[in-house]
Structure 1
Amino acid sequence: MNKLRACYHIAWTSFRSRLAGYRLLAVVVVASYFALSETATVGFNRDLAANNAALVGAHTAVVAAIAILLFGFFVVRDAIAMDRYDGPGELIAATPVRDETYIFGKWLGNVLVLSIVLCIMMIVAVFRFQIEGVGSLDIWKLVLPFLLLTFPAVVLVSALAILFETIESLRGGWASVVYFFTVLLVFVSGIVDPMGIRPVVSSIQSVPDTQTLNGETLWNGLSLTGTIALRRLLYVAATLVVVGISAVQFNRFDTTVDSGDSEDDSEVETTSPLSTPDEVSIETSLSSVNTDAGIDLPRILWAEGRLLLGGHRRGWYLGGGLLWLASVSLPLPTVRDSIVPLLWIWPLLIWSKMGIRESRHGTMPFVGSSLYPVGQLLAIWAVGVAITLLFMSGVGLRIFLAGDVIQLFVLVSGAVFVPALALASGSWTKTSRLFEGSYLLLWYAGAQSKWLDFMGATGQAHVVTPIAFVCCGAILLWSAVISRRCQLRS
């Protein structure tokens, strides 16, 4: 099979499968909001120069790069997972398509998906210039920052998403958390600059004081000088290295585990699957289903709790216990500033399982044939709420003793809302990526704003906030029920 043709079909199939998702739209909405908002300062201060086409294009391009780095990763991270869990992986493994061709095609498909965000943000930049821009509309100066600043972020995030899928230890929910906070650290510290903020700010600051427009500094935009182009090409080169590593790490959907024990085949007793013993005695006895007994709620809750809490490493349980001890022993202001945000991150691995287990492991037919398939879904949510309250019980006890009823209500509303968000996201998308991306965005926003504080991290949440989150949780839970009923009819 021609490599280019195979790569094209892999990329195009991967691209088309992501167009109908909600995650891509969410990234566009977030990026557009921060680009058009007059109060939110993202990237760099827009008051550094006059709002001509060059500045509008550069600022919108930087905002787009930040949104793609933070949230675009969660849009394209399941490119290989869709083939692994939905069935085509085994067929692809049996074809003559080489590993590097498959990985490159998947990376190219990710680039095409995130390029949609880039193109839409170009349109947003034109719209923004028509509203607040000064001077004439120079399309080249408006578009050039997207090519120099945003596109390297697109290719880099696309490659990192592939790398996280090919390395088994990076496929879990913790890897998503590590990636998110690593990008935040890079953004705050400025160790590296994949967003392209540094060349823009330094170029604006180098403008002579005499070059002004309406009393403001007139910046003519970025130029394709050797230094700027070389720095941005370094990120593209790093991308190719990451894609190469991904191709080496790719196991071609091989789920077998090599034990490392080499035994002589002659010493291993083998039995043909077609061979039968001389005497076969099969006795089966199935008890009848008692439909009058009702739902055994405690047993279902216990089983769902074991499924959600099981399967984690010992370090996760130990870390959760230490955080709980810190929440009851440290001063309350310190707990709110440092411990509460961590407590609302720690159960992410539990929440991300909700709603996807049946489709991931193919158990939906068994759940659908049970007496109470919708009741089982509600049991998952109830267990998620109970686990969340268990994690927050130390903080809740401290707040209760302090007599802060509103903040206690905030904790309860968060415990109702987050599992409902996870259950609805998993039920509709059959993957944890939408929940992980949207929750991390809400987590960050909640720690900054009293209006979005569902965690009690600010200690100043408005009384309307918990009511709103409880209502949103109820809507999301009802949405998950609708999804379950749709699955039962299909």
Structure 2
Amino acid sequence: MSAVRAAVHVALADLRQRLRSPRYLVVPLLIAWVAQTLTSETTHLVVAGEYTGIRNAAWFGGMVATMGTFLLFVFGFALVRGAVTRDRETRVGELVATSPVRDATYLVGRWLGYIALLSLVTALLVLATVGGYALHGTGTFDLWALASPFVFLTLPAMALVAAAAVLAETVRPLRGTLGSVCYFFGAIALFTAASLATSLTYGPTGLAVIRNSMVRAASADPTAFESRSFAFTDDPGSVTTFVWQGVDWGLTELLSRAPTLAAAGLTLAVAIVAFDRFEPSPGLTDRLAGVLTDDDSSQDDAASASDATEAGHRYTTPPSDVDLTSVTPASSGVPNLRVLTAELRLALRGRRWWWYLAVGSCVVGGLLAPIDAARGLVLPGAWLLGLPVWSELGVREQRYRTAELVFTAPHPHGQLAAVYLGGVAVAIVAAGGVLVTLATSGALAALGAVLVGALFVPALGLASGIWLGTPRAFEVVFLTLWYLGPMNAVYTLDFVGAHPETIARGTPLGVAAAAVMLLIAAVIGRSRQIGQ
């Protein structure tokens, strides 16, 4: 079998396996919702602060492609990531390691599989945009004008997203939550730079290509751009309409995609070099990263594997003087202190020394900082550190294959309560300095908002982990809420109460209601798992 054919087979196998998962059924619904929202009569795209286009096919294609590329660029990483990690956890990687399939062939296959899934999502987005035009559009339908931005802008960006996902799964420190955090903020930074720079036509999302074309069609002054000169709004105010027939795809516009494709190829090449071919011992890049991050998990894993192998070759007879006594199960499903302590230890297991140092610094900072800085800066930073703990809630049993033991216990829901309370304890401890400052300052409403947030975040992690079986969904949702709410003052999403306006608008009440619903969903999901 040729290398190309082998890579294609790897890609197709990954795509088929993903499409069989019920979790991906929600993707078309989200796509339809996004397209309907962007093409509805209440949503307007304003260019250069005072222009908006006639709602023809090209305009719909430009609007949805702009926002759709941004959403897929930020969230597509979490959507596709996981195939290499799955092979590692299910020991399929051991078969790959002993097969004649080369590293480059295997990783290129995974990359192609990720691109195929993202391309399928892009195609669904095009179809949803066509549906939006049929409902709300005007003028003659032009399929190429509508679809070409997706072809020349979205798909090259998806190649870079797929390559970044492969890289994150081959570099040991980036395989977990750290990889998701680094990618999220990196994607936001790239998109922000592309939004502010009018000449950055070679940006990964291609925003400037569409924006500059619209500016030329509107005969607007290209020097009039400000940070919000290309924005979606439901209240455009007094604007001038113009006709935009789509991007004129000349050589300049097409070559502007070359840096994005080159970056994708370079990222994939780095991933191939860093790939350890599922070896239990770390490679050079992993050892270097371990030195920089004090990560000795690879050595621990190798030692454990060695101990297990040696134990398999030893024959031991059971001792004859063991007194086996029956254990009476607890009469209540309420977790006791030992169970709570055990779950908290599991939640904190594997955290490095710098993590504890950072949490301690946030506690001290919350005590010493002014109350506004403590709420708006220290508290969001402290809870960002809790992300790797909360992302494991609800998925730990599947990941470590302990579901059969946990779900057959006398009171599995008591264990679920202990997991949740352990997550709440991490949130309260990380916010301890801020809580003390709020209490001593008499800011009881803000104190209550923080406590409500401490109940909400672990509930979100637990429910999403149980129902979706992956930590990546929670990571994406949490980072989005964290970025938009506390850090960018979107008050309806400010789950930590970082801004006084959040409390004035009653957002903590909505957060509390969401926490209750998420806990109910978690209990229902766990009951469903137990009954299977």
TM class by shorter chain equals 0.7 to 0.9
Q: Secondary structure at the match of 1:216?
A: strand
Worse-matched range after superposition: 133-142 or 372-381: 133-142
Measured at CA, do residues 52 and 313 of structure 1 come closer, stay the same or move farther in structure 2, by a change above 3 Å? same
Name which of 468, 480, 489 aligns with 2:510.
468
Unaligned runs of 5+ in 1: 262-269
| Deviations 1:370-418, CA, capped at 9 Å, x for gaps | 3222211110101111211222232233333444443333222211111
Match of 2:290 in 1: none
- Three-state SS of the structure 1 residue aligned to 2:461 is helix
Deviates more, 1:76-85 or 1:62-71: 76-85
Name the aligned partner's letter for residue 473 of structure 1.
A
Q: 2:55·2:138 contact (CA, 8 Å) conserved in 1?
A: yes
Distance 1:484 1:313, change over 3 A: same
Counterparts in 2 of 1:255 and 1:141: CA distance versus 1, 3 Å:
same
Matched, 1:335 2:351: no
1:450-465 matched pairs, under 5 angstroms = 450-461=491-502, 462=504, 464-465=506-507
The equivalent position to 1:253 in structure 2, one of 270, 278, 284, is 278
Partner of 1:236: 261
Structure 1 residues 321 and 275, CA, compared in 2 at 3 Å: closer, same or farther?
A: closer
Q: What displacement does 1:17 show?
A: 2.6
CA distance change for structure 1 residues 207 and 45 in 2, over 3 Å: closer, same or farther? Answer: same
Q: 1:412-427 alignment to 2 at 5 Å? A: 412-427=451-466
- Pick closer, same or farther for the CA change 1:296–1:482 going to 2, 3 Å: closer
Aligned AA (1:21) = R
Aligned runs of 1:214-293 on 2, under 5 Å?
Answer: 216-257=241-282, 282-283=319-320, 284-291=322-329
- 8 Å contact from structure 1 (residues 340, 456) kept in 2: no
Matched, 1:120 2:158: no
Query: Which amino acid counterpart does residue 350 of structure 1 have in structure 2?
Result: V
Contact 2:339/2:415, CA 8 A, preserved across alignment: yes
Residues 41 and 470 of structure 1, relative CA distance in 2, 3 Å threshold: farther
Matched letter for residue 16 of structure 1: R
Indicate if the aligned counterparts of 1:27 and 1:68 stay in contact, CA closer than 8 A: no
- Structure-1 separation of matches of 2:441 and 2:278: 54
Q: Which moved more, 1:56-65 or 1:81-90?
A: 81-90
Check 1:423–1:95 CA distance in 2 against 1; reply closer, same or farther (3 A cut). same
Matches within 5 A, 1:392-431: 392-431=431-470
Say if 1:112 and 1:350 are closer, same or farther in 2 by CA, change over 3 A.
Answer: same
Q: Which amino acid aligns with 1:145?
A: P
**4+ residue runs of structure 1 moved beyond 6 angstroms?**
40-46, 258-261, 270-273
Q: Secondary structure at the match of 2:501?
A: coil
- With 478-487 and 108-117 compared, the bigger mean Cα shift is at 478-487
Per the TM alignment, residue 80 of structure 1 is displaced from its structure 2 partner at its CA by 1.2
Q: Report the secondary structure of 1:460's partner residue.
A: helix
Distance 1:330 1:272 in 2: 53
User: How many equivalent pairs are there?
Assistant: 477
Change (3 A) 1:129 1:319: same
Say if 2:216 is the partner of 1:206.
Answer: yes
Matching residue of 2:519: 477
Aligned to 1:47: 51
How far the C-alpha of 1:95 sits from its partner, in A, is: 2.7
Q: Which residue of 2 aligns with 1:316?
A: 355
Is the alpha carbon distance of 1:292 and 1:281 closer, same or farther for their aligned partners in structure 2, counting shifts above 3 Å? closer
CA spacing shift, 1:292–1:401, aligned 2, 3 Å? closer
Using the TM superposition, name which of 396-405 and 379-388 deviates more. 396-405
Asked if the contact 1:166/1:249 (under 8 Å) is kept, the reply is yes
Encode CA deviations 1:219-266: one digit per residue, 9 max, x unaligned: 3321221111111122122212222222222222222358999xxxxx
Contact 1:43 1:66 in 2 (8 A): no
Query: Is the CA contact (8 Å cut-off) linking 1:424 and 1:477 kept in structure 2?
Result: yes
1:151 corresponds in structure 2 to: 155
Distance verdict in 2 for CA 1:386–1:49, change over 3 Å: same
Match of 1:196 among 206, 216, 221: 206
Of 479-488 and 145-154, deviating more is 479-488
Do the aligned residues in 1 keep the contact of 2:335 with 2:417 (CA within 8 Å)?
Answer: no
> What 5-or-longer segments of structure 2 have no aligned partner?
221-238, 288-298, 300-308
Query: Partners of 2:423 and 2:330 in 1: how far apart?
Result: 28
Asked whether the 8 Å contact 2:28–2:124 carries over to 1, the reply is no
Between 108-117 and 125-134, the greater mean CA deviation after superposition: 125-134
Quote how far apart the aligned CAs of 1:308 are: 1.1
TM-score (normalised: structure 1) = 0.88
The answer as to 2:363 corresponding to 1:359 is no
Note closer, same or farther for the CA distance 1:122–1:44 as it changes in structure 2 (3 Å cut).
farther
Structure 1 residue 432 displacement after superposition: 0.6
2:35, 2:129 → 1: CA distance?
Answer: 9
Q: What is the rounded CA distance, in whole Å, between the counterparts of 1:154 and 1:45 in structure 2? A: 29
Quick one: distance in 2 between partners of 1:472 and 1:63?
27
Cα–Cα, structure 1 residues 194 and 224, in superposed 2: closer, same or farther, change >3 Å?
A: same
Cα 1:292–1:15 shift into 2, 3 Å: closer
In structure 1, the residue matched to 2:407 is: 368
Following the alignment from structure 2 to structure 1, what is the Cα–Cα distance between the partners of residues 344 and 514?
24
Contact 1:89 1:253 in 2 (8 A): yes
User: What SS is found at the alignment partner of 1:253?
Assistant: coil
8 Å CA contact 2:481, 2:493 repeated in 1: yes
| 1:285–1:101 distance in 2 versus 1, CA, 3 Å | farther
Cα 1:281/1:356, change in 2 over 3 Å: closer
- Structure 1 residues 239 and 183: alpha-carbon distance in aligned structure 2, compared to 1, 3 A threshold: same
Q: 1:46 to 1:71 in 2, by over 3 A?
A: farther
**Compared CA separation, residues 202 and 272, structure 1 to 2 (3 A):** closer
User: What SS does structure 2 have at the residue aligned with 1:254?
Assistant: coil
SS in 2 for 1:198: helix
Structure 1 letter corresponding to 2:377: S
For the residues of structure 1 that align with 2:314 and 2:191, how far apart are their CA atoms?
A: 63
Going from structure 1 to structure 2, the CA distance change for 1:133 and 1:307 (only over 3 Å counts) comes to same
Give the stretch that moved more between structures: 25-34 or 103-112.
25-34
Tell me the SS of whatever aligns to 2:417.
helix
2:175 to 171, 176, 179: 171
Report the CA distance between 1:430 and its aligned residue.
2.5
- 1:267 is matched with which residue? none
Question: Residue 459 of structure 1 aligns to which amino acid in structure 2?
Answer: P
User: For residues 306 and 30 of structure 1, do their structure 2 counterparts lie closer, same or farther at Cα, with a shift above 3 Å needed?
Assistant: farther
Change in Cα spacing, 1:272 to 1:369, as seen in structure 2 (3 Å) is closer
Distance of aligned partners of 1:365 and 1:249 in 2 relative to their CA distance in 1, 3 Å threshold? same
Q: Structure 2-normalised TM-score?
A: 0.81
Q: Would you say 1:305 and 2:344 are equivalent positions?
A: yes
CA gap 1:197/1:276 in 2 versus in 1, 3 angstroms: closer
Task: Give 1:324 deviation, angstroms.
Answer: 2.1
